[in-house]
Amino acid sequence: MEKGTKIEAFKTPDHMNELKNVPERVIVFLIDGLHWKAPDKLKMPVFSNLLREGTYIQKSWMILPHHPTVGDYGKMHTCSFPNPVLQEGTLFIKRGNKMIQDMFPAGQTTAFITNTIAYSSVSRGFNIAIQNPNMTDAEVVDQGIDLMQRYDLRYCRMHLQTPGNEGRYLSYTSPDKPYYRNIWGNESPYVKYIEEADQHLGKLIDYLKNSGKWESTLLIISSDQGQSEKGWHPMIEEDSGITPLLFLGPTIAKGKVLSYFEHTDLTPTISHLMGIEKPNQDGGSGNFIDAILETTTARQDRPQYIKVINQQINEYNTLRAKIILAGDSNPYYSSLISYLENELLTPEPFYHQDRFTEWHLAGNTKHLIEVNSQILDQMRNELTKMNIN
């Protein structure tokens, strides 16, 4: 849908009849590098008090936070995989994809406020984009509140970058500090800025309530990626791809807890609740998750695609390294890697992180997982023949 297309043009009866009490605005509040244990381990009273008012997922899964700066992906995006996946609502990241901010009609103001330039590639299409590395997290929220006072924002993404930065720094600096490679360590700056982010969230909520906008706002609190307990988000660590997620607002169930969610579903869910089309509808796109609604009582099961893919990629990288090392003593195993990666032994090559912009060639996520599974089986069998664990 182009900017300027009237929203009525795609209000199909089946979809729109469900949309009672559509929110007037949606705010996506992201605390960078938010570890899934943080709400339980740290002082986050604002977040904790909100749990009874919304639907909570302690572990929402996002695709592994790989961040290549070269190759096709590096030419397309300035940030790690989870960010375009979140904005586009699909695992199939390719040129020509739209983002959720593109789907709001002309005349409905959208804004992105953050204190880094890292997300430049996912900021296109916003009417207002403020990306100032010199701002503090508090100033990001102040800017957001100022924009809401001046404009009738329909969609706003606020991204507090400092906690993630501090998690990264402590993974390789200050080896003499008690928090070196331990985000929970004594005097950890990561802890300090996560707890301050909770205070900034409180300021935003106070504004929404005092201005009479709270009841009509869809508020989503999460992160674009997880955090290792040793700091930052190494690709091979499971915690890097998990973060908390909280939905609040009109039609959202209060006090509900879901056991699983995928960040791929965030944009389709926002789109549904806001009465707009989702930006991409392909074999990798997520879905509206109606389990967050107050009218839905049945437990919604969904395939755990992202959890499986992340595990497959990490296992592939481990097995591949073992086979390469085996090639030192037997050249066949050096050839085996080429056979696997050049489709000589398999109908399709493994869909790993370095082929991210080719994942769409799989057609759909289920087939991608099936292909990966077949290749992993072959790799395990070869290592078994070598008596290598």
CATH value at residue 281: 3.40.720.10
Are residue 168 and residue 127 in the same domain, yes or no? yes
The arithmetic mean of pLDDT across residues 299-321, rounded, is 92
Question: 199 and 331 in one domain?
Answer: no
**Closest-CA residue to 142 (of 164, 123, 167, 160):** 160
Considering the domain boundaries, does residue 297 fall inside one? no
Same domain, 57 and 119: yes
Residue 322 lies in a domain: yes
155 and 272 housed in the same domain: yes
The last residue of a domain, from among 264, 292, 320: 292
- Name 9's Cβ contacts closer than 8 Å, sequence gap at least 6: 1
**Residues 269, 328: one domain?**
no
Of 277-281, 323-327, 364-368, minimum mean pLDDT range: 323-327
**CA separation for the pair 65, 240 (Å, rounded):** 7
Q: Cα–Cα distance between 96 and 271 in angstroms, integer?
A: 19
Instruction: Based on the fold, state whether residues 174 and 98 are members of the same structural domain.
Output: yes
Indicate the angle between helix axes 305-326 and 365-385, nearest 10 degrees.
30
Lowest mean pLDDT among 153-162, 246-255, 348-357: 348-357
Residue 81 near residue 356, CB atoms below 8 Å = yes
pLDDT digits (tens, 9 = 90+) for 202-246: 999 999 999 999 999 999 999 999 999 999 999 989 999 999 999
Q: Which residues pair with 61 in a beta bridge?
A: 242, 262
Pairwise CA distance, residues 16 & 102, whole Å: 20
Provide the token pair at 179: 């928090």
Does the pLDDT at position 337 exceed 50? yes
Query: Cβ atoms within 10 A of the Cβ of 228, count?
Result: 20
Contacts of 285 (CB under 8 A, 6+ apart): 89, 90, 91, 92, 264, 268, 278
Predicted confidence (pLDDT) at residue 121 exceeds the cutoff of 90: yes
pLDDT of 8 strictly over 80? no
From 248, 265, 292, the end of a domain falls on 292
Last residue of some domain: 292, 317, 335?
292
Query: 314 is in which domain, residue-wise?
Result: 305-385
